[in-house]
Chains A and B, each alone.
Chain A
Amino acid sequence: MITSTHYMLLSAALFMIGVIGVMVRRNIIIIFMAIELILNAVNINLIAFSHALQNAVGQVFAIFVIAVAAAEAAVGLGIILAFYRNKETLNIDEMNLMKW
């Protein structure tokens, strides 16, 4: 029997993989993709609960998450492109102009 706990654990594991990606990798595109993984982990949770509670509200929220992810990807990749044109790098350790 698969309960929502199983889904939560899966989601937690996916979330963690995403967090590791964000913290460990230095290629900013990979970091963005790790963020997408995190958002997906959240969505799995939302839909699992929507299933468990037989309530479609969870799916509505998941749609909002997807919309936000789309917006984030568009703007984020725009920033990456603009940055790349300036600095010829995608390494997040070299993006330290604003760092104090």
Chain B
Amino acid sequence: MDAPALRHGAMFDTNELELNMGPQHPSTHGVLRVVLRLDGEKVVDADVVIGYLHRGIEKLSENRNYTQIVLLTDRMDYVAAATNNVGYCETVEKLMAIEVPRRARYVRTIVCELQRIASHCLWVGTHAMDIGAMTVFLYAFRERELILDLFEELCGARLTYNSQRIGGLPLDIPPGWDRKVLAFVEVMTGKVEEYEALLTENRIWLERTKGVGVIEGPEAIALGLSGPPLRGSGVPRDIRKDEPYAAYDEMQFEVPLGKAGDTYDRYVVRMEEFRQSLRIIRQAAEGIPEGPVVGKVPRLIKPPAGETYHAIESPKGELGYFVVSDGKSTNPYRFRVRPPSFCNLQALRRLCRGHLVADVVALIGSLDVVLGEVDR
């Protein structure tokens, strides 16, 4: 009996098991389906199947006028809906060369960062829950609730805000809102410590996340990662710094970076982003200038013929909008979104290989995908 035959197939066949994770599964965060091929508990291959939440937002947009599209963007990353609004409105403003008043830009900054905290709250809750720490989930949701209250006051909605208009805000902020935001910043600063106390130095947490799903900087770039997964690998890329939008050029903040590029570093980066976001919110809320909230916008929004791409740093990464206008109609000729979740999800297959089933759950959590955005 020759040895090679022993190793390959004929002698000892490895009984591979095909396991369908999702679309109905408690920790695929929605309707993601991962077809795992398992050798025992080890993942040999992971096939990511998407599209269960496809609503055709890009195509629908071609039949809506520019203002109506704002509410479609709410439905993409529904845990940070206002960020989508801001990104879209800024794209159209760029196409039409509309100057947005400074007050509106400040409010947009606050809105974006509040959304980042809300999104990260949801992420830390579900990520910890996936790894089995159930209490963090409820703590994080408790604080997310405060943010939802702030938004309810700002625009009347709690999930899909429709909070921006092309050229500025639909309404000025309610009186005293900025003070409530500052009060929230005070509360939240302590709460972030609370989450970290439960997780950051927890031995089980360290064992579950350190060295899991390592991805080096160059490879992260090659895979097209953006946002915290990219920065977790140590690549200093943050659109808020590199190509400032809203009022970020006037804000003081740092971009946290990881080293190893494993699940733990992605976790640390996001936790630090909580603090940086709070810092930005405090600066913006304290320095809101007086003035109008809407710029000079024509009654009929009909951009000149041309195309533009504009990206912002959403909580999940680079959220880009590409809008083509033919200059004749009030609908975009082509509307295209570069959703960060979709691009980050590309890495899942590469990350899962060689890890265990339990790690797949942790990895999905550490990429922080929202299926509404992946499928659009």
Binding site for B on A (CB under 8 A): 85-86
Contacts and interface: CB of A to CB of B under 8 A. Distances in A.
Nearest to A86: B11
Contacts of B13: 85
Contacts of A86: 11-12
B191 to A, nearest CB: 53
Interface string B122-135: 00000000000000
Nearest to B12: A85
Interface string B1-44: 00000000001110000000000000000000000000000000
B279 to A, nearest CB: 60
Contacts of B11: 85-86
A85 B14 CA distance: 9
Nearest to A88: B13
A86 B13 CA distance: 8
A44 B13 CA distance: 42
A86 B1 CA distance: 12
A85 B11 CA distance: 7
A11 to B, nearest CB: 41
A86 B12 CA distance: 6
A84 to B, nearest CB: 10
Nearest to B6: A86
Closest 3 CB pairs of A and B: A85-B12, A86-B11, A85-B13
5 contacts: A85-B11, A85-B12, A85-B13, A86-B11, A86-B12
B3 to A, nearest CB: 15
A85 B13 CA distance: 6
B120 to A, nearest CB: 48
B66 to A, nearest CB: 65
A99 to B, nearest CB: 18
B6 to A, nearest CB: 10
A81 B317 CA distance: 49
Interface string B156-167: 000000000000
B11 to A, nearest CB: 6
A85 B12 CA distance: 5
Contacts of A85: 11-13
A51 B224 CA distance: 78
Contacts of B12: 85-86
Nearest to A82: B12
B136 to A, nearest CB: 42
A35 B13 CA distance: 29
Nearest to B15: A85
B104 to A, nearest CB: 69
A86 B10 CA distance: 7
A38 B13 CA distance: 34
Nearest to B13: A85
